[in-house]
Amino acid sequence: MNETLSVLMNHKSIRKFKEDEVSQQQLASIVAAAQMASSSSNVQAYSVIAVTEPGLKKQLAALAGGQAYVEQCPVFLVWCADLYRLKRVTEQHKPDQTSYEDSTENFIVATIDAALAAQNAAIAAESMGLGIVYIGGIRNNIAEVAELLGLPELVYPVFGMCVGVPDQEPGLRPRLPQAAVLHMNGYDPNQTMEQVKLYDETMSRYLSERTGGERTTPWSEIMAVRLTEPVRLHMKSFLEQKGFLKQ
């Protein structure tokens, strides 16, 4: 196994950070790595807001549902899908033409661009001994987050990411068996559902070990609870208000 594979295979989300700073140079390297990710037709339809101001981090932590590590980490990155730049240059070059920044396709392109860049950033940070955790919680109060960060139309915060020096050493969380997610030459529904049963056993044991036998809920049941919760149903109207997903 090469060094890079070792970094990839040892990812654990970090939720407790030391007080050490992330230096300007580290931040620049992390974002430079993010920028080298692939981008659909080179549109580079993403932006990242690095939040270092304590007051701002505190507000974001509250908006994300009271996640203390958002406030505690030295740098909180907010990864945004960004079609604003493209819209502006289109107005400059093609002022009289219809443009499609509101299409579902371009929404997907921008969301993917943000995600690919962010994952490169995560790997870069981890390769330097830093730890990260993705924060989907910033979508809990997404309108307030967007306002706080001054996001213009056609920019939405996809997720946040805490970055800092780890102050904990969590174990690796088992993933689904490979055969549950990898299909050869075509999707096999039975294969994936068979593998879920095996994963349920793995995760029951894992939970039990971590909680001294207190919790053993199988993964599939946790997922069923999650999918029956009305999570962030405001997303569609928020995105439409921001100019996305109209067609």
Are the beta carbons of 205 and 213 closer than 8 angstroms? no
Which residue number, 128 or 165, has a Cβ lying nearer to a second copy?
128
First-residue to last-residue Cα distance in the chain:
46
Rounded least distance, CB 113 to a second copy, Å: 9
Paired strand residues for 133: 162
Residue identified by tokens 């943000």 is 114
Min dist. Cβ of residue 166 to a second copy (A): 15
Of 56 and 62, nearer to a second copy (C-beta) is 56
Cβ 91 to a second copy shortest distance, Å: 8
Output the smallest distance, CB 214 to a second copy, in A: 18
CB atoms within 10 A of CB 1: 7
Q: Looking at beta carbons only, is 72 or 137 nearer to a second copy?
A: 137
Is the CB of residue 159 less than 8 Å from the CB of residue 119?
A: no
- Of the pair 150, 212, the CB lying nearest a second copy is at 150
Q: Cα–Cα distance between 79 and 168 in angstroms, integer?
A: 24
Residue with tokens 């958002």: 70
- Angle, nearest 10°, between helix axes 219-227 and 189-210? 100
Pick between residue 61 and residue 239 the one whose CB is nearest to a second copy.
239
- Written as one letter, the residue type at 95 is P
CA distance 246 to 66: 32
Least Å distance, CB 190 to a second copy, is: 11
Length, in residues, of the chain: 247
Comparison of 186 and 212: residue with beta carbon closer to a second copy: 186
**Count of other CB atoms within 10 angstroms of residue 87:** 19
